[in-house]
Each structure stands twice: as structure tokens, then as C-alpha cells.
């Protein structure tokens, strides 16, 4: 008889706890409806211990209210990133409970809320990066990836943003994960212009885009190839390892990547750049020769070799490669821009020396020599800047640079003619 009383007492205790939790959930719901999400969170935190023993239906309700409360706080910009993740965790716990119980009272709402949280994390990350808060943005991008691991591009963006935030250790971890996943990011984007907004919209598939065009809501369909990001990923892995003093690991990382992807020329360039960074010029030349042998008329490849050479302060080779690009593709505008920029880099050296000169006869003579040298430098850039302006008359920066050259050379007629166009292109404040 005594044992029965014990059992009854235990049963009574459990029912009281469950009843108490039910009351707390109701109180949290009431607080949430009254606009006090923080109070709702506080109430639910007090009930957290009892939730483990609650029936599945009450657990699901508990997690649903919890997720809604955290999401409301995030919507009010209260510790946005932290509360978005707390909300997502609550909704995920809810989905797990209802999946195990075979019921789905809140599942559809929870799934929709998780997708909403993902979008909010991405938008918040963009805002963070625009405000130079790269580390905060990177964490949100990674959190968005964790919510939907099929959307691997968010892992890539997170890694890149950690690089921008100079957290190279975390970036390396994420890049290594991308490498393990064999992520490339290669694909195709499908665009069409909305007749209502006149803005170009992105579609998930060609079928969706073509249907919109057929229905008459969109026009001017366009398809754009998305290049592989694998070379960049392996390059950044290698450069981070170099920064950490792990040169041999860096070289092995690139070598392994090339073995796994022998047709990826970006990896060949990455390896060449690595040897350039480590001042192993013989190996660099060997790899460059290999690249050119495989694709001697690949304008992008030759252009990239020009960029690598310029970054290594090898102006002679850089100029050679840029001019070769112009031969392969006379409309390759970036070759003209980069060659002009390469030549203009020498201006600073000349100006610095001119500013240090005194007023002695010797110094004045040297001044005249430097002035003439500067003028010749400017003259040498004109054909390339003019060609770039011809290829892209709307490029404000290039036009402004050419205008400055005309001004320095006192080419009055050319200056006046171009000034009108530059004024039209000037960004609105």
C-alpha cells in the first residue's frame, strides 16, 4: 500500500510540473502577443528545465514560441545575429520533435521561418560588410550556410569575408572545408529584364526564365557562365599557409589541387603565383611557360600573367603580356587600362624626386630632365587610355585619367572636348 502512495505522489508531481510549464508557455505567448518578446524569452528560459519531461505536443509548442520570441527580438535589431541563430535553433528543435512524434502542427511554419532567418542573416551580412564589419558579416554568412548546407556558396562567401576581416585562421578552416567538398561554384546564371521594374532579374533555371519571357513579364533574356572558384580557393589556402610560414604545406596544397584538377588553368596560375611570392623565379618561369604552351592564344591567361608580373614589380614582363593580349583580342579593354596604369606608376617616383630638388643650377637642370621624362611617360599612356575610352565611353575613371593626362600635357583642345563628356559621366552626389 505504501508503494502505491509513492507512485501516486510521483504522478502528481509530474502533472504539476507539466501544468506549470503549460502555464509558462501561455504566459510567454501572451507576452509575445503584447509586444514584449524579451519577457517571453525570460519566461521560457525559466521553463527550459521542465521541457525535457513534457509531452511531445507541449515540447513542440514550447520551441515554437521560443523561436518566435527570438525572431521578434532579431526583427527589432536586438542582438540581431545572435537572436536569429537562437530562433533557428529553436525551430530546428521543434522540427526534430515533430518528426520523431509523427505530428506536424508547427513544422510548416517553422520551416518557413528558418528560410526567412536565412534571408535575414544574408541581408544582415551584406549590411555588415558595407559598414566594414567583415567579421560580423562572415559569421552570419557561415550561420546561413549551417542552416542550409546545400547552399554551399554561403560557405565560400563566409571564407572570403573572413579573409577581408583578416581572420586568416578561420578563413583557412572554411576554405579547407570547401576543398573537402570539392566545391567549384562553376555554373550558369539566367537573367531577364522585368518589364515592370526595368531591372534585370536572376532566375534559378533557364526554364523559369524562358517561361517568364513567354508570359510577357520579362524580356531580353541573357545567360552568363559562372567561372570556377576552385583556383581562387586553393590560391587563398596556399597564401594563408605562406603567411603562416608553412611554405612546404602551401606548395603541396597547390600541387595536390592540380593533380586533382589537371585541366583547371587557374590552379596552374595559382601555383605560378605561389612560386613568384616565394621568389622562386626559375619555377615561376617554368610554370608560366607550361601555361603558355597549353594555351598560347588564351587572352584571359595571358592577361593574368600580366597581372602576376605587375604584382611582382616586373614591369617589363607585365607590359609584354598586356601587349600580347591586345594582339590576341584588340577589344580586351582591361589590358589597355592595366598597361596605362602600369606606366603611370612611375610618375610618383618622378614627382618625389622633383619635390626634393632645390634651386641650384644643377637641381634646376635635373628638374627639367625629370619634367621631360614625366611628359614622355604621359604621352606613352595616351594611345592605351584613348583606346579604353573608345571601347567603353561610359567608364568615368578611365575618361578622368585621360583628362588629367591631357591637362598635364597642356593639350587644350583635347582637354576641352573630353571635359564635357567627363562632366556628363561624373557620379551624382
Beta-bridge partner residues of 225: 188
pLDDT top residue among 218 and 256: 218
- Supply 428's cell numbers: 551624382
User: pLDDT: is 254 or 194 the higher one?
Assistant: 194
Calculate the CA dihedral of residues 210, 211, 215, 218 and round it to 10 degrees: -40
pLDDT, average across residues 382-394:
94
**Domain 230-330 annotated CATH 3.40.50.10490:** no
The cell for 291 is: 601555361
- Residue 82 CA to residue 255 CA, distance in Å, equals 40
Cell 610618375 belongs to 347
pLDDT band at 42 (very low <50, low <70, confident <90, very high): confident
| CB 141, CB 163: distance < 8 Å | no
Which sign does the torsion angle of CA 15, 21, 24, 30 carry? negative
Whole-number pLDDT of residue 49: 66
Q: What DSSP state is assigned to residue 241?
A: H
Domain boundaries, the chain: 2-131, 187-226, 230-330, 332-429
pLDDT computed for residue 12 by the predictor:
42
- Please state the rounded mean pLDDT for residues 236-243: 86
- Which of 341, 304, 308 has the alpha carbon at shortest distance from 324? 304
pLDDT tens digits, 310-366:
888 889 999 999 999 999 999 999 999 999 999 999 888 888 888 998 889 998 999
pLDDT band, very low/low/confident/very high, at 21 (cuts 50, 70, 90): low
The topology (CATH level 3) of 2-131 is: 1.25.40
Lowest mean pLDDT among 166-180, 256-270, 350-364, 410-424: 256-270
pLDDT value of position 311? 84
Would you place residue 8 in the very low, low, confident or very high pLDDT band (cuts 50, 70, 90)? Answer: very low
Say whether pLDDT at 303 is over 70: yes
Report the percent of the chain where pLDDT is more than 90.
39
pTM: 0.59
Strand 218-226 relative to strand 200-203, pairing = unpaired
Cα(413)–Cα(191) distance, rounded to whole angstroms?
43
Q: How many residues does the chain have?
A: 429
Please say if the pLDDT value at position 307 is more than 50. yes
Q: What angle do CA 284, 288, 292 make, to 5 degrees?
A: 175
For 332-429, the fitting CATH number among 1.25.40, 1.10.357, 1.10.287, 3.40.50 is 1.25.40
The yes-or-no verdict on residue 11 having pLDDT over 70 is no
pLDDT tens digit sequence for 56-114: 888 888 889 888 888 989 888 888 888 899 988 988 988 998 899 888 888 888 889 99
| pLDDT on residue 221 | 94
Amino acid 52: pLDDT = 64
Phi, psi of 254 (to 5 degrees): -70, -40
**Is it true that 2-131 and 230-330 share their CATH fold?**
yes
- Is 154 a residue whose pLDDT tops 90? yes
pLDDT per residue as tens digits for the range 251-284: 888 888 888 778 777 788 888 888 887 888 888 8
Task: Between 295 and 145, name the one with better pLDDT.
Answer: 145
Long-range pairs, 316-320, Cβ under 8 A, ≥24: 318/342
- The Cα–Cα gap between 373 and 353 comes to 12
**pLDDT of res. 230:** 84
Q: What is the mean pLDDT of the chain?
A: 86
The single-letter DSSP state of residue 204 is S
* Residue 17, pLDDT score: 44
Amino acid at each position: 500500500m505504501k508503494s502505491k502512495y509513492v507512485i501516486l505522489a510521483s504522478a502528481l508531481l509530474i502533472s504539476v510540473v507539466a501544468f506549470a510549464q503549460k502555464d509558462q508557455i501561455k504566459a510567454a505567448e501572451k507576452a509575445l502577443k503584447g509586444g514584449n518578446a524579451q519577457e517571453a524569452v525570460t519566461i521560457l528560459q525559466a521553463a527550459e528545465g521542465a521541457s525535457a519531461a513534457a509531452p511531445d505536443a507541449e515540447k513542440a509548442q514550447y520551441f515554437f514560441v521560443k523561436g518566435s520570441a527570438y525572431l521578434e527580438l532579431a526583427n527589432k535589431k536586438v542582438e540581431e545575429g545572435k537572436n536569429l541563430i537562437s530562433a533557428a535553433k529553436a525551430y530546428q528543435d521543434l522540427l526534430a520533435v515533430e518528426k520523431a512524434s509523427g505530428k506536424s502542427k508547427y513544422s510548416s511554419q517553422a520551416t518557413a521561418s528558418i528560410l526567412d532567418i536565412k534571408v535575414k542573416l544574408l541581408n544582415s551580412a551584406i549590411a555588415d560588410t558595407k559598414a566594414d564589419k567583415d567579421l560580423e558579416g562572415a559569421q552570419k554568412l557561415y550561420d546561413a550556410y549551417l542552416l542550409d548546407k546545400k547552399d554551399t556558396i554561403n560557405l565560400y562567401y563566409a571564407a572570403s569575408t573572413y579573409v577581408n576581416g583578416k581572420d586568416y585562421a578561420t578563413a583557412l578552416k572554411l576554405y579547407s572545408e570547401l576543398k573537402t567538398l570539392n566545391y567549384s561554384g562553376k555554373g550558369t546564371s539566367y537573367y531577364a529584364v522585368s518589364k515592370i521594374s526595368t531591372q534585370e532579374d536572376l532566375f534559378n533555371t533557364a526554364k523559369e526564365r524562358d517561361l517568364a519571357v513567354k508570359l510577357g513579364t520579362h524580356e531580353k533574356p541573357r545567360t552568363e557562365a559562372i567561372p570556377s572558384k576552385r583556383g581562387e580557393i586553393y590560391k587563398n589556402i596556399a597564401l594563408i599557409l605562406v603567411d603562416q610560414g608553412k611554405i612546404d604545406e602551401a606548395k603541396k596544397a597547390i600541387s595536390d589541387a592540380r593533380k586533382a584538377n589537371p585541366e583547371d588553368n587557374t590552379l596552374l596560375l595559382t601555383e605560378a603565383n605561389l612560386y613568384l611570392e616565394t621568389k622562386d623565379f626559375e619555377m615561376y618561369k617554368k610554370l608560366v611557360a607550361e601555361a603558355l604552351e597549353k594555351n598560347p592564344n588564351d587572352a584571359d591567361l595571358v592577361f593574368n600573367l600580366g597581372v602576376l608580373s605587375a604584382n611582382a614589380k616586373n614591369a617589363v614582363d607585365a607590359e609584354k603580356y598586356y601587349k600580347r593580349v591586345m594582339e590576341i583580342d584588340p577589344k580586351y579593354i582591361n589590358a589597355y587600362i592595366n598597361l596605362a596604369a602600369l606606366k603611370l606608376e612611375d610618375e610618383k617616383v618622378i614627382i618625389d624626386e622633383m619635390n626634393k630638388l632645390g634651386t641650384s643650377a644643377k637641381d634646376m637642370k635635373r628638374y627639367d630632365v625629370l619634367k621631360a621624362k614625366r611628359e614622355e611617360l604621359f604621352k606613352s599612356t595616351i594611345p592605351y587610355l584613348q583606346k579604353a575610352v573608345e571601347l567603353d565611353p561610359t567608364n568615368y575613371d578611365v575618361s578622368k585619367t585621360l583628362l588629367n593626362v591631357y591637362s598635364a600635357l597642356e593639350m587644350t583642345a583635347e582637354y576641352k572636348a573630353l571635359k564635357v563628356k567627363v562632366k556628363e559621366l561624373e557620379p551624382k552626389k
